[in-house]
Structure 1
Amino acid sequence: MPKEINPKESSRATAYELWMKARDPMVTFFKTLDVTNFLTVSRKKKLKFNMLLCYCIAKAAVNIEEFYTLPVDEKLMQYDTIAVSTIVNNKRGGINFCDIPYTEDLETFNQHYLENTAWVAEHCDNKDLSSESLVIGTSAIIETELDGIVGMNTGIFNNPFISWGRYRKKDLQYELPISFQFHHTQMDGSHAGRFLENLQKEINVLLMRG
C-alpha cells in the first residue's frame, strides 16, 4: 500500500519545490526501439507483442528508485510495487484499462495479462491497481505508424505513460518509436534516460530467457 512521505525529507525535495505546482509539469521523451527480438519471441513462443512490451517496461523500471514515488494531488506518495496498465477493447465496442501486476517470471506475468485482459473485455470494467501499486500507463495505437505522441499535460494524471503505434520494418530489423511521458516531480531527465536504456536492454536479452 502506498504511503505519504515528506517531500523535504526525500531525494525529490528540490524537484517537488520546482515542479509540483508548475503549469506544465509533464515531460515527454521520444525514442525508437529495436523490437526485432520481440517479433522472434512472439512468433516462436506464441506470445502477444503487447504483453512482451508491457513486461519489459515494468522490468526496466523496477530497479529505478524514482519510479516508486508519485505526486498525487499535492502529496508525494511512495509505493512498494509496480504494475503496468494496458488499454483493452471490450465486448461492447468501448475501451477499459487493465492493470497488470509486475512479476519477474515471464510465464506468470503472461498468465496475469491474459486473465486480466480477458476479464476486462468480458465485464466492460476496469482492473485498477492504483491503490496498491505504482501504475505505468501504456497505450498502443496499432492502426497506424506513429513518430510520437504527446499526452495530456495538465498534471491531473501524473503516472508515467508510454505510447506507441505500429512497429515498422527497416532493412532487416523492426523498429518501434515510443513516447515516454513523466512528471518532473517524480524523476529527472537522467532517470528517464536510464529507464529507456534499460528498456532497450531488456528487449535485447528477452531471447536469452527462452
Structure 2
Amino acid sequence: MEYINMETWPRKEHYAYFHSMDYPMFNISMNLDATNFLRFVKEHKLSFYYAMGFAAAQAANQIPEFRCRIRGEQVVLHERVHPSFTDLDKDTGLFKYVQVDLTEDIFSFSEKAVQKSAAQTFFMDVNEEARDDLLYITCVPWVSFTQVTHPIALGGDDSIPRIAWGKYFASGEKILLPFSIQANHALMDGFHAGKYVEQLQSFLDSL
C-alpha cells in the first residue's frame, strides 16, 4: 500500500471537485456476455456466484483506480483488493457479509469461498468491516435489472466500489448478464469503469 502525493497527483483537481459533493458516487450498468463463462463454470462444476466474484475482483486489480481508497485527508493505493460478498441464508432469507482474500486462480478461490461461507454463522466480522482493501460484491439472481444502487455513508470518504449482477438471460445465441458498477467519482471516471468492463469481459471470454 502507498499514500498518494496529493500535490503532484494528476487527479488532484478532479478529486477536490467531486470529494466536496454530498453524494460523489456514480453508477454504470450494462449487460456482459456470459456465454463462455457460463459454459466454463458448468463444465467445472463451479458456483457461478463465487467464480464471478473472482472474475470481478481479478479485473479490478488490473485497474489502479479500483484500488484507490479515501482515508480522511489522504488517498491510498492498495497493491491488491479482495472481494467481500453477500451470501444468502435460504432458511432465514437474510444475508451475511463474507470476505475472502483473492487467490491466484478461480478454482482455489471458489473452494475457499464455499468453505468460508459455510463456516460463517454471523452477519459480519467487525474487524473485516474496518478494512478498505475490499470490493463490495452482491448479486440479485431473481431480477434481470437495468439499474441498481447501493447504500453508502455520506460525507465523501466511502470509496469502496460496489459491484453487482443480476439474473442472466438468453438473447439470441448469447447469455447476457446484467452488471453494475458503483464507484466514488473523486477516484475514478467513466473512462476507468469502461477499462474495467473491457478487462472483465476479456477474462470471461478467455476461460
Q: Which range, TM-score by smaller chain?
A: 0.7 to 0.9
Q: Does 1:117 align with 2:156?
A: no
Other-structure match for 1:71: 70
Q: How far off is 1:144 after superposition?
A: 2.2
Other structure's SS at 2:22 match: coil
Question: Which residue number corresponds to residue 85 of structure 2?
Answer: 86
Per-residue Cα deviation, 1:131-179 (whole angstroms, up to 9, x for no partner): 5562111111112221221223644642111122211111121101111
Residues 85-124 of structure 1 deviation map (CA, whole Å, 9 limit, x = unaligned): 210124654221112212222222122211221122xx22
Q: Helix, strand or coil for the counterpart of 1:182? A: strand
1:101 is paired with a residue of what secondary structure? coil
Structure 1 length-normalised TM: 0.86
Work out whether 1:136 is the aligned partner of 2:135.
Answer: yes
Alignment of 1:53-202 (within 5 A): 53-90=52-89, 92-120=92-120, 123-127=121-125, 129=128, 131=130, 134-152=133-151, 154=154, 155=156, 157-202=158-203
What is the aligned-residue identity percentage?
Answer: 25
Asked whether the equivalents of residues 167 and 177 of structure 2 are also in contact (C-alpha less than 8 Å), the reply is yes
Q: Which amino acid aligns with 1:166?
A: K
SS of aligned partner of 1:60: helix
Q: CA deviation at 1:54?
A: 0.8
Asked if the contact 1:7–1:16 (Cα under 8 Å) also holds between the matched residues in 2, the reply is no
Identify unmatched segments of 5+ residues in structure 2.
none
Cα RMSD (Å): 2.2
SS at match of 1:27: strand
Name the TM-score, length of structure 2 as normaliser: 0.87
Count of aligned positions: 203
